[in-house]
Amino acid sequence: MTIPMVDLKKQYAALKTEIDAAVSDVLAQTQFILGPNVAKLEEEIAAYHHLPYAVGVANGTDALLLALRACGIQAGDEVITTPFTFIATAEVIALLGAVPVFADIRPDDFNIDPGLIEKKITRKTKAIIPVHLFGHPADMNPIMEIAQKHHLKVIEDCAQSFGARYQNQPAGTLGDAGCFSFFPSKNLGGYGDGGMVITKSEEIAGQIRILRNHGSSVRYHHSELGYNSRLDEIQAAILRVKLKYIDQFNSARRKNAAAYCAAINRKDTVLPRVAACCEHVFHQFTIRTPKRAVIATALAEKKIASAVYYPVSLHQQEVFLKLQNYSGKLPVSEMCAATVLSLPMFPELTADEIRLIADVINHAS
């Protein structure tokens, strides 16, 4: 038996009839750029989040980049974020000539520690980007209190958290903007790249619509230096099919996470914890263990995938060390980078597969 990190074939097989029909409709209509499916998906995702605006873009990285620009972030500004995430979160800050400032994380949920944010604020600080990592929301109430106190923008990185909730509010709806990725492996994933920004602000939404289309709101008239960052019509059609099932898929992920927690019983292994105020969507099921190499090897021998997200904290990445000397240590992030291991997680994972994975972990030595 081979168990991958995510099995996209199983999900496609279950939705094949609907997805094939949706793609065929797009091919028949031949309206491939900013067509009706993009507009409808924007409406549906806005409604899902109880917000007035959603703007489709080319990918999750662009969602962050365009949201930063729409919120007025410029060269020389500082943006506080987590060091324990995919590089895109900090990469877009630096690409705008702004400075990523890293605050350490909490070990329980791998998210930025609100108690460490305020001491990082300077007169140059203009925004905070919390990341809802692995599908668990960051602790948004104290983050929003700090932002309001210091007049900072808050851009939520929701790339891994579509459908997650914080105090019964959807992730992405508490800050000034929420940014999503539709990379194929995500909880709501397309069959290529795609992204979206949601917001309650008409101004932010309007600016992103201009920036995604070469800085233009009227054809061949350009008010900004923008980007070619339009969500593909075929991807939008596929995502509209899958959006109907997202709550079902996320429920299955939570069920699988509970099964993992019941079956894994190594004393040296820390299992994911879910805050009482949060609804986790388990984009990843990530454990912490000093025996990571031993467990990963044992899993590989049984043809079971595992992955390390992320082996090097952003403040220690070569690219950021070239830009700025991040001399301070961020011990929790560094500890997590040395001990985390993500296990297979997808809605179609079976009880038998989970028991096998847990058995290998429990007996690895």
Model pLDDT for residues 289-322, shown as the tens digit of each residue: 999 999 999 999 999 999 999 999 999 999 999 8
Provide the whole-model pTM.
0.97
Model pLDDT for residues 176-222, shown as the tens digit of each residue: 999 999 999 999 999 999 999 999 999 999 999 999 999 999 999 99
- Report the residue count for the chain: 365
Classify 171 in phi/psi space as left (phi over 0), alpha (psi -120 to 50) or beta: beta
Distance of CA 16 to the CA centre of its chain: 26
Residue 329 has pLDDT above 90, yes or no: no
Domain ranges, ordered by start, for the chain: 8-103+111-243, 246-363
**HEC-encoded secondary structure of 182-221:** CCCCCCCCCCCCCEEEEECCHHHHHHHHHHCECCEEECCE
Distance of CA 104 to the CA centre of its chain: 18
Run of H or E including 62 = helix 60-70
d(CA 44, CA 298): 43
Q: How far is CA 262 from CA 87, 271, 292, 355, 359, in A?
A: 33, 10, 20, 10, 12
d(CA 193, CA 190): 7
Task: Name which CATH class applies to 8-103+111-243.
Answer: alpha beta
List, in sequence order, every residue forming a beta bridge with 277; answer none if it has no partner.
none
In the sheet with 53-57, reading across from the earlier edge strand, the strands are: 53-57, 195-199, 177-181, 153-157, 125-129, 78-81, 99-102
Q: Are the folds of 8-103+111-243 and 246-363 the same?
A: no
For the segment 117-139, the average pLDDT, to the nearest whole number, is 98
Confidence category of residue 43, pLDDT binned at 50, 70, 90 = very high
Residue 324 has pLDDT above 90, yes or no: no
Confidence category of residue 1, pLDDT binned at 50, 70, 90 = confident
Helix (H, G, I), strand (E, B) or coil at 133: helix
Model pLDDT for residues 253-271, shown as the tens digit of each residue: 999 999 999 999 999 999 9
Q: What Rg, from alpha-carbon coordinates, does the chain have?
A: 20
Residue 231 has pLDDT above 80, yes or no: yes
Question: The domain 246-363 belongs to what CATH superfamily?
Answer: Aspartate Aminotransferase, domain 1 (3.90.1150.10)
| Omega within 30 of 0 (cis) for the link into 48 | no
Give DSSP secondary structure letters for 36-59. HHHHHHHHHHHHHTT-SEEEEES-
Confidence category of residue 355, pLDDT binned at 50, 70, 90 = very high
